[in-house]
């Protein structure tokens, strides 16, 4: 079930009505309703895959209990069993065919008479997201930072909660579990905030992302026939497509969750206003970047180590992040590009780290602007690999930018993208201080003005919904 579909609107109205009107005095039944609704939501895609989720929930639920009640070597054994079991499901469904195809390619190159058949199975939707969410739970229990959840209903809901089930944010047990235990009273202001955030997320997805998708798809499909400027615009269009798509999903997820009195973590914070590559990763897909920081980067020593170990750590988290996104060398290249530029940033910045007195003086506008343009260039370059079907196509796309005639009938495309993106960026910048990205929530704007703006957004959403092709959320494939 897609957030940008009429079916989801009906689903949400029904679940919301039952949650607050029928079951408002029965907290346990509210939790059961959310779990059943989450199962229905997930089964709209491939119903039988619900059993995969159920198996991983069982494994990690009992592993958490065993880890908490065991001592010494047994605790680590239960942790390892849980991690291997959960990751094995991810490997089989997401990486097995990729692994086999590469083994077969190597065998062919060296002349081995060896071949393994691929399974060619469909990836369960959102598998990488709820896998990482489950892993964070058992790791936190092992570290004694999280008490094991004894209520199987609540733990199942933690893994399956439908607003963030298929594309995050990747929640921590410390943020979500206690909220499911709390008795809920309807909070009109929180629900209204959620509705505003859903509208803003729908605008990002339907108006920004789906409009940019048309330009990006054309550019990547016909890169050998277009001018260099058209290809640059196509790459920029994809940069805003994936941002509008994923951050739009996150806003809808956060807003939907608020309708049920549950707050999810913010997943985006104006990433295209970042002034350096480190700043970008503090703002983009925050739940994933903090996951890798806490469970990979810090255990390896983080930034405390010196020399090659520091760059090893940077390389590790970015390549793993690339592999997490998909079983394709394009994602590995995407992660590798970010690791190279991040390492270069660390190499330049760390030896000249400012003192506290120097840090009190903010960077100049020119410095921030120049850094922002350079960062956007790096990020957009990496997005070409993320979007391309394979690595050779990505290099061909970049080569065509350099070798094709630079200008040829690009004016209309440029103007259309400018008319779309510039006002959007202005709205984002004006909205930069808003709570959790909720549009205009931190400004004293007259209700009539806010209503007028949101009516315009709603009209644009409806118009684009009926005139554009509906694009599936990009991160559903991960």
Number of structural domains (the chain) is 2
More confident residue, 123 or 75: 75
Distance separating alpha carbons of residues 267 and 261, to the nearest angstrom: 18
Report the helix count and the strand count for the chain, using DSSP H and E. 20, 0
Based on the fold, state whether residues 261 and 392 are members of the same structural domain: yes
Co-location of 402 and 461 in the same domain = yes
Statement to judge: residues 201 and 151 lie in one domain:
no
pLDDT at 349: 78
User: Does the predicted TM-score (pTM) go above 0.75?
Assistant: yes
Residue 78 lies inside a defined structural domain of this protein: yes
For 458-469, the pLDDT digits (tens) are 898 888 887 776
Residue 322 domain-assigned?
A: no
In the chain, the percentage of residues whose pLDDT exceeds 70 is: 92
Q: Which of 129, 159, 183 is the last residue of a domain?
A: 183
Domain contains 427: yes
Judge contact between 439 and 197, C-beta under 8 A.
Answer: yes
- Residues 444 and 215: beta-carbon distance below 8 Å: no
Catalytic residues: 325
pLDDT value at 408 more than 90: no
Distance, in Å, from the CA atom of 408 to the CA atom of 227, rounded to the nearest integer, reads 6
98 and 226 housed in the same domain? no
* Least confident segment among 396-400, 403-407, 454-458: 403-407
CA distance 254 to 168: 10
> Is 60 exceeded by the pLDDT of residue 255?
yes
Q: Are 155 and 35 in contact (CB under 8 A)?
A: no
Mean pLDDT of 368-376: 93
Query: Which of 138, 156, 183 is where one domain is finished?
Result: 183
Task: Please state, in angstroms and rounded to a whole number, the distance separating the CA atoms of residues 11 and 199.
Answer: 17
Return the exposure string of 311-325: e unless at least 16 CB atoms fall within 10 Å of the residue's CB, then b.
bebbbbbbbebbbbb
Same domain flag for 179 and 196: no
172 and 212: one domain?
no
- Angle CA(173)–CA(179)–CA(182) in degrees, nearest 5? 140
Question: What's the rounded Cα separation, in Å, for the pair 1 and 157?
Answer: 18
Which domain, by its residues, includes 236? 190-275+363-477
Q: Are residues 177 and 240 in the same domain?
A: no
Query: What is the model's pLDDT at position 359?
Result: 56
Confidence of residue 442 (pLDDT cuts 50, 70, 90): low
Q: Where are the alpha helices (DSSP H) in 284-364?
A: 286-292, 308-325, 329-349, 356-359
Q: Is residue 354 in a domain?
A: no
31 and 146: one domain?
Answer: yes
- Cβ atoms of 159 and 56 within 8 Å: the answer is yes
Condensed to tens digits (0 to 9), the pLDDT of residues 177-217 reads 999 999 989 999 999 989 989 999 999 999 999 999 999 99
- In the listed set 158, 183, 208, which residue is the last one of a domain according to the structure? 183
C-alpha distances out from residue 239 to 247, 313, 368, Å: 12, 27, 20
- Write down the pLDDT at residue 116: 77
Q: Do 198 and 148 belong together in one domain? A: no
Window from 229-243, 353-367, 423-437 with minimum mean pLDDT: 353-367
Q: CB-based burial of residue 142 (10 Å sphere; 0-12 exposed, 13-18 middle, 19+ buried)? A: buried
The reply to whether 234 and 85 lie within a common domain is: no
- In terms of domains, do 159 and 211 share one? no
Q: How far apart are CA 359 and CA 269, in angstroms?
A: 22
Whether 165 is in a domain gets the answer yes
- Are both 44 and 176 inside the same structural domain? yes
What does the DSSP assignment read for 173-206? HHHHHHHHHSPP---HHHHHHHHHHHHHHHIIII
What does the pLDDT average to over 159-175?
91
Give me the sign of the Cα torsion angle 410, 412, 415, 416.
Answer: negative
pLDDT of residue 409: 62
CA nearest 241: which of 269, 266, 256, 220? 220
């Amino acid at each position: 079930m897609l957030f940008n579909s009429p079916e989801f609107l009906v689903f949400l109205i029904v679940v919301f009505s039952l949650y607050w009107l029928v079951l408002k005095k029965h907290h346990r039944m509210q939790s059961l309703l959310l779990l059943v609704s989450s199962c229905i939501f997930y089964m709209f895609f491939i119903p039988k895959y619900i059993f995969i989720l159920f198996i991983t929930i069982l494994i990690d639920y009992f592993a958490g209990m065993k880890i908490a009640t065991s001592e010494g070597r047994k605790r680590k054994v239960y942790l390892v069993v849980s991690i291997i079991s959960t990751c094995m499901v991810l490997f089989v469904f997401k990486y097995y065919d990729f692994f086999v195809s590469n083994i077969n390619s190597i065998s062919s190159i060296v002349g081995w008479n060896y071949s393994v058949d691929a399974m060619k199975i469909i990836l369960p939707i959102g598998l990488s997201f709820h896998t990482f969410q489950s892993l964070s739970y058992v790791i936190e229990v092992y570290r004694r930072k999280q008490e094991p959840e004894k209520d199987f209903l609540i733990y199942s809901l933690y893994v399956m909660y439908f607003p963030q089930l298929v594309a995050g944010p990747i929640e921590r047990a410390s943020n979500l579990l206690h909220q499911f235990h709390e008795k809920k009273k309807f909070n009109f202001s929180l629900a209204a905030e959620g509705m505003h955030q859903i509208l803003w997320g729908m605008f990002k997805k339907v108006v920004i992302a789906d409009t940019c998708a048309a330009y990006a798809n054309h550019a990547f499909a016909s890169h050998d026939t277009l001018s260099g400027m058209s290809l640059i615009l196509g790459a920029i269009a994809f940069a805003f497509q994936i941002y509008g798509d994923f951050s739009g999903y996150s806003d809808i997820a956060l807003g939907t969750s608020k309708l049920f009195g549950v707050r999810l973590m913010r997943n985006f914070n104006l990433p295209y206003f970042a002034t350096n590559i480190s700043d970008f990763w503090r703002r983009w897909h925050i739940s994933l970047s903090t996951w890798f920081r806490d469970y990979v980067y810090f255990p390896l020593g983080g930034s405390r180590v010196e020399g090659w170990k520091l760059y090893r750590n940077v390389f590790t988290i970015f390549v793993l992040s690339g592999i997490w996104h998909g079983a394709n060398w394009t994602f590995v290249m995407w992660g590798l590009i970010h690791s190279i530029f991040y390492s270069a940033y660390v190499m330049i910045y760390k030896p000249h780290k400012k003192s506290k007195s120097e840090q009190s003086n903010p960077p100049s506008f020119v410095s921030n602007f120049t850094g922002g343009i350079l960062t956007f260039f790096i990020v957009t370059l990496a997005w070409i690999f993320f979007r391309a079907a394979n690595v050779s196509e990505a290099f061909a796309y970049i080569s065509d930018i350099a070798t094709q005639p630079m200008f040829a009938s690009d004016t209309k495309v440029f103007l259309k993208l400018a008319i779309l993106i510039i006002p959007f960026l202005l709205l984002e910048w004006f909205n930069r201080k808003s709570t959790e990205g909720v549009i205009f929530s931190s400004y004293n704007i007259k209700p009539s003005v806010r209503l007028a703006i949101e009516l315009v957004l709603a009209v644009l959403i409806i118009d684009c919904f009926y005139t554009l092709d509906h694009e599936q959320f990009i991160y559903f494939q991960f």
